[in-house]
Structure 1
Amino acid sequence: MSVITPERTETPSAAPRGQLHIQTVGRLREMIMNGVLPPGARLREVQLCGALGVSRTPVREALRTLAAEGLVDLLPNKSVVVARLRAPDIVHLYRVFGALEGLAGELACARVTADEIAEIGRLLSEMVDLHAKADRTGYMAINHAIHRRVVEISANPILEAQWRTLLPRVERARALANLDRDRWSAALFEHSKMFAALAGRDGPLLNRLTREHFLNGLPSTTAQAERAAEGPTG
């Protein structure tokens, strides 16, 4: 199992404890999402403290938060490793998350305003441009914004809470799917159909298309996860 020593980043300015916790979680989450801390990597508190410029307390608390999100595993020997993406887990995750987003889409269709439709349409146009430029990072940011707005428009706080709980694991898996150029292009086309359903306020159709969108991404995502699992563990 490899031990990762990330490069030192800029030391954060003094901040209230709650804000420091949020910053530390965000930076570690980004390092996991971007592959700086790859699956299976062992995380040592002392090294993370040095890299992030913070004390052990915010690092320890951040690791507990990331464990609750499913991004790291806390092992019985008190060591911490970046969680591996396992194909069976991704299948279960996508089915549940697709159902949540499908329901959110159906609820949103009953509430969405003309201004909100125009807003999401502009985001979709940005996503098309980013795809043409092969800008995966920018594309994923806009993709997230579109999905988040639909969930927000659904105005169901219980649904949104569950969605946010699962989101970090889904975003990590979704990034794998878009490593496949063909799947990336297909996903963009699916987004255009989903937007048309939203603009037409066809809730049942958007529900179905959203579920299919996640299921269609499974073969590529699980294949990428299996390839990553075959890599060396150090």
Structure 2
Amino acid sequence: MQNPNLNPSVVSPASSQELPPIARQQLHDTVVDHLRRFIVEGVLEPGRKLNERELCETLGISRTPLREALKVLASEGLIDISPNRGASVSKMSEAELRETFELMSGLEAFSGELACERITAAEIAEIKALHYAMLACRAQNDLAGYYSRNQAIHDKINEAARNSALRQTYIAVNRRLQALRFRSNFETPKWDRAIDDHAHMLEALDARDGKRLAAILRQHLLAKRDAVLRIGDTPTTLE
């Protein structure tokens, strides 16, 4: 049962399910994963000052593992930590948002071009399976489930590029954009256009057409940027 003392704005319906006790040996990674998901899904929205007591109660942990997790998220650019003001969720300026999405569009495009040269039939089959699972989530209006499969598709395309330098840069930049990429699907027409983009991505992968896949991925990311800019500071509470 949700703690009645928690601020209802801290935990949304999408994440208010009772969390299982965290095994001590898995504590660090699990806390980081939970907090990262809260940020990505808008439970902890950009600019929010983090209340350590409430987060500890929500996760069922002490302050030491929480603070260690916050340091990890700060190194990823998801959390800002100030000696005098504590921790808050990072918030990009409009200029930074535009520039980071532009960079990500280039990284995705390059990933697609290399992937078409190097991807295996088995990897394409995995991506297709994720695509159909993503469609099932869309039919159920399950944005969190949709997003996790959507991101897995993009991640597998990047992995198929088989370029470790590209991989490291992709992961670092994408972590900063995940919450915004999730948020871009709050517009239903944009969500459905993204699904069409993914169908075209599969066609390009099947044809090993790197130039086409690169162009689709680049525009796909720029469309996400535009959707985020249209949404602006609209509250991110999930339905």
Instruction: Give the shorter-chain TM-score range.
Output: 0.7 to 0.9
Structure 1's unaligned 5+ residue stretches are 230-234
Corresponding residue to 1:45 among 40, 52, 55: 52
What is the rounded CA distance, in whole Å, between the counterparts of 2:187 and 2:177 in structure 1? 16
Q: What corresponds to 2:186 in structure 1?
A: 179
User: The residue matched to 2:113 in structure 1 has which SS?
Assistant: helix
Q: Which residue of 1 aligns with 2:157?
A: 150
Question: Helix, strand or coil: the match of 1:110?
Answer: helix
Equivalent residues in 2 for 1:194-233 (5 A)?
194-228=201-235
Aligned length: 225
Question: Residues 201-222 of structure 1: CA distance to partner in whole angstroms, max 9, x if unpaired?
Answer: 1112211211111112222111
The answer to whether structure 1 residue 190 and structure 2 residue 197 are counterparts is yes
* CA displacement at 1:76 relative to structure 2: 4.5
Task: Report the TM-score, using the length of structure 2 for normalisation.
Answer: 0.84
Q: Give the structure-1-normalised TM-score.
A: 0.86
CA-CA distance at 1:87 after TM superposition: 2.8
Question: Could you say what secondary structure the match of 2:24 adopts?
Answer: coil
- State the 1:188 CA deviation: 1.0
d(CA) in 2 for partners of 1:5 and 1:110?
45
Deviations 1:50-90 (A, max 9, x none): 33222222111111111122222112514111222443222
Per-residue CA shift, 1:168-215, capped at 9, x if unaligned?
A: 222210111100011111111111112111111111221121111111
Give the whole-Å Cα distance in 1 for the aligned partners of 2:139 and 2:10. 35
**Residue 120, structure 1, aligned to residue 120, structure 2:** no
Q: State the alpha-carbon separation in 2 of the partners of residues 122 and 11 from structure 1.
A: 29
Letter of the 1:12 counterpart: P
Cα distance in 1, alignment partners of residues 20 and 106 from structure 2: 41
Match of 1:162 in 2: 169
Which residue identity is paired with 1:206? L
- Report the more deviating stretch, 142-151 or 159-168: 159-168
Query: What's 2:105 paired with?
Result: 98
Whether 1:83 and 2:97 are equivalent positions in the alignment is no
- Asked whether the 8 Å contact 1:111–1:153 carries over to 2, the reply is yes
Structure 1 residues 181 and 61, CA gap change in structure 2 (3 angstroms): same
Is the CA contact (8 Å cut-off) linking 2:41 and 2:183 kept in structure 1? Answer: no
CA contact (8 A) 2:10 2:43 kept: no
Distance 2:23 2:197 in 1: 45
CA gap of 1:224–1:119, structure 2 versus 1, over 3 A, is: same
Distance, in Å, in 1 between the alignment partners of 2:17 and 2:59 is 6
Name the % identity: 36
Partner of 1:15: 24
- Does structure 1 conserve the Cα–Cα contact (< 8 Å) formed by 2:41 and 2:144? no
- Change in Cα spacing, 1:140 to 1:50, as seen in structure 2 (3 Å) is same
Instruction: Check whether the contact 1:87–1:225 (CA below 8 A) recurs between aligned residues.
Output: no
Q: Measured at CA, do residues 29 and 13 of structure 1 come closer, stay the same or move farther in structure 2, by a change above 3 Å?
A: closer
